[in-house]
Amino acid sequence: MAPQTTRRSDRILAQSTAANKQAVSSPRPTAPSKPTKSSTTRCLKRKAPATEAAHGVSATKASFLPVKRRRLDASGHIVRSEPDPQYLDTDAIAKALEQYLKSGRNPLRAVPVWGKNPFREIWKEYEFPDPKIHALPALDPVEPLKRLSVRYSELSCVEVIRDGDEEIDDTSIFRVKYKGKVYILKLFRSSIDPCPLIETGPQKLEREKRAYERLLHHGVCSQGFVPMCHGWFELPIPKTSRWLRSFVSEEKPPCALLIEDISDGATLSIANISPSVAGQALLAADHIHKAGVLHRDLRPRNTLVRRDGTVVIIDFDKASTWPDERVDLLSLKNEMQLCWSLYFNRMLTDRWTGLTQDEVSY
Using CA atoms, how far residue 203 sits from 26, 245, 296, in Å, is 47, 22, 15
Angle between helices 329-340 and 275-290 (to 10 degrees): 170
- The tens place of each residue's pLDDT in the chain, 362 residues long, gives 444 433 333 433 343 333 333 333 333 334 434 444 444 443 333 433 333 333 333 333 333 333 444 446 788 899 999 999 999 899 999 999 999 999 999 999 999 999 999 999 999 999 999 999 999 999 999 999 999 999 999 999 999 999 865 445 789 999 999 999 999 999 999 877 666 677 889 999 999 999 999 999 999 999 999 999 999 999 999 999 999 998 998 889 999 999 999 988 999 999 999 999 999 999 999 999 999 999 999 999 999 999 999 999 999 999 999 999 999 999 999 999 999 999 999 999 999 999 999 999 89
CA distance 112 to 87: 9
The Cα 232–Cα 255 span in angstroms is 7
DSSP string, 49-118: P--HHHHT----TGGGSPPPP-----GGG-S-SS--GGG--HHHHHHHHHHHHHHS--GGGGS-TT---T
If DSSP codes are grouped into helix, strand and coil, which group holds residue 210?
Answer: helix
Taking the whole predicted model, whether its pTM rises above 0.75 is answered as yes
